[in-house]
Amino acid sequence: MSGTTIKSVTAHQVYTNRGKPGVEAIVTTENGAVGRAMCTSGESVGTHEIEFQFDGGEKFRGKGVMRAVNNVKEVIAPVIVGMDAAAQQEVDAAILGIMPNAKEVIGGNATAATSAAVLKAGAAALGIPLYRHIGGANAMYLPVPGIAMTSGSGRYGGGITTPGGKPTMSAMCFGFKTFSEASYACWEIHTRWAEKMKKLFGGAPNIRDFIVIPEGIYKNDWEIWEEMCDTIREAGYEGKVGFQMDVATDTYHNKEDDLYYGLFDNTKKTKDQLMDIYKRLVKDYNFVIFEDPFNEDDYDTTAIATKELGVQIVGDDLFTTNPKRVAYGISKGAANTVLLKVNQVGTISEALEMIQYAYKFGYAVMPSDSRGEGEAIADYAVGINAGSIRESGIGARGNRFLEIEEELGSRAHFIGARGLKGELNQRRADELGQ
């Protein structure tokens, strides 16, 4: 193992595209290979996620991560230097075995960043792509990608606002023969959408970003959904593109009366009223994926939605990439897909364990890079043969997918609508001949 032996481990506090600091870990092997990985906290954070270490105080509004950085350098590094970077499970076991409740004490952001850096260093030291290091010869499927459309709340007045910029809505491009064709559709749809929004209210952000629509432009989200459907039709992709929504309902849920305040308009809603809205979105607006359609502990209603809606139901805050929560959800029939945030659970090995468990019981896994994975999320997706991925149709992540598609050549397979869970989505795949 001489070349793949871990020679050094260090870390830095870095700025991230999430607007808050993150932990970047750097692992170097004896043969000079380097693995760098970053972990940051997201906008919508489930209460069941692992604990991150933050510095507190006034600097960075309490979200500095120098304590976690120092834990990488002073606590984790002495334990794993000299170990084999290609032996991921052994390294992760050593990290978790440093002390009882290691993730809570050291910080999940410290353990996750280090674990992911080890994974990358191992691949680099072996001289193989990251997706091949993860999935071996079986890594060959490229997932259905999406493109960001709109996000945000509080645009209807009435004084109702929520944190986290939810819900977000994306266009999922499934009805294509190759990833590159789906990627082009993502680009064209978002370009048209951004042009519409610029004409409507005078501004739109970078092409990769969700567009936040200011108050007063639309009366409610129904008008936005109509506009999104028009955009797909105008681009000539009707029947080949559907919509995904990260509802993130916990940002709207009131635990005292079990009602949802300000979601889709400025009224409060029961879970039954939400269910009726979702049914109409599937029927009339071609929604193919809902993420966290009910609050993070409402497995029963999520199970009903999974059965009645017939589309892909994704658990993020519901599962938090946690094997125990996934197991409980499976026992209840809640959701049919686990959102994978590699940095959400603490180590790569635990994430891979969860993935295999989900696959064993017929659940899909949908990767997301919102915890700092960056373009490496493309390698994770191909490595585990994921059927779909959050956004990633263009930009740095899209570029990496296109590169992988080219590297795989004739072995590359675009999974298309068959990669989406749910009875109605499988009918779409049949109609498209996928």
- Active site includes 120? no
Pairwise CA distance, residues 8 & 30, whole Å: 9
Which amino acid does the sequence have at 52?
Answer: F
Pairwise CA distance, residues 64 & 61, whole Å: 8
Pairwise CA distance, residues 58 & 70, whole Å: 19
Which two tokens mark 264?
Answer: 């889709």
> Omega before 163 cis (within 30°)?
no
If one counts every other C-beta atom within 10 angstroms of the C-beta of residue 227, the result is 18
Pairwise CA distance, residues 190 & 208, whole Å: 8
Catalytic residue among 74, 90, 195, 215: 215
- Active site includes 296? no
Catalytic residue among 20, 240, 341, 421: 341
Which two tokens mark 111?
Answer: 């353990």
245: left (phi over 0), alpha (psi -120 to 50) or beta: beta
HSE-CB at 255 with a 13 A cutoff on CA atoms is: 5
Residues 6+ apart with CB under 8 A from 253: 259, 260, 295
Pairwise CA distance, residues 291 & 304, whole Å: 14
Catalytic residues: 215, 341
